[in-house]
Structure formats: structure tokens, C-alpha cells
Amino acid sequence: QSVLTQPPSASGTPGQRVTISCSGSSSNIGTNIVNWYQHLPGTAPKLLIYSNNQRPSGVPDRFSGSKSGTSASLAISGLQSEDEADYYCSAWDDSLNGWLFGGGTKLTVL
């Protein structure tokens, strides 16, 4: 079981706004930055959000991240069919002294 907890699934219709949560603890999300990845099976995971809310060049502003306390969220607005993928949160853990990933959330565009 991942120390960073994500819902296993999420869904929305085209144009909708969906959010994916990531719950951690004081040793990871509570004190360190959160990153988000988009992963299509069979491809390389793609960095979507870094430092809680920063988008790498080329990532549409439909994707946004936030953090509060020991939880973080990824929001996708104007949902598109190509957003259907698995999404993972990640953070450094001071107790583990290593990187943690969430269990992943499979986003379905209905």
C-alpha cells in the first residue's frame, strides 16, 4: 500500500473539471513539494506539475496543482479525451529518506 493515497479512479465528461487528490503525512507532503505525472500505459511517464503548482513548458494551463497541509490536488479543467490516463503524485519522504509515489488514479473521460 502506497504511503501517498490517491483514489483509484476518477471520471468526467468532455469540458468538465475534475480533481484528483493525494493524501500524505507530515514527513512527505506536509514538508516537501509535490509533483504530478501523467502516464499512458506503454509510454514514458510525463511530468505534469512540479513544486506543487508549476507547469513544465508545454503542459497546458488546463492542468493545475495545489497543496494544503498534508494533502495535494491535481485539477484538470476543460477535460479532453486525450487526458484519459493514469495520474500519479510524488513527494520526498523525510522518514523514508527516499521518493514516494501515490498508487495512481485512472482517469476516464466518458
Residues 69, 22, 33, CA angle at the centre, nearest 5°?
A: 55
Answer for which of 64, 73, 90, 107 binds other proteins (CB under 8 A) is 90
Rounded least distance, CB 85 to other proteins, Å: 14
Counting contacts by CB under 8 A, is residue 44 touching other proteins? yes
- The one-character DSSP state at 3 is S
Counting contacts by CB under 8 A, is residue 52 touching other proteins? no
C-beta of residue 48 within 8 angstroms of C-beta of residue 63 = yes
Q: Is 51 left (phi over 0), alpha (psi -120 to 50) or beta?
A: left
Range in contact with other proteins (rule: CB under 8 A) among 15-23, 40-48, 60-68, 77-85: 40-48
The grid coordinates of residue 25 equal 503525512
Distance separating alpha carbons of residues 77 and 55, to the nearest angstrom: 14
The grid coordinates of residue 104 equal 495512481
Q: Give the count of residues interacting with other proteins (CB under 8 A).
A: 25
Range in contact with other proteins (rule: CB under 8 A) among 9-17, 22-30, 75-83, 90-98: 90-98
Counting contacts by CB under 8 A, is residue 58 touching other proteins? no
Q: Which residues bind other proteins (CB under 8 A)?
A: 2, 33, 35, 37, 42-47, 50-51, 54, 56, 88, 90, 96-104
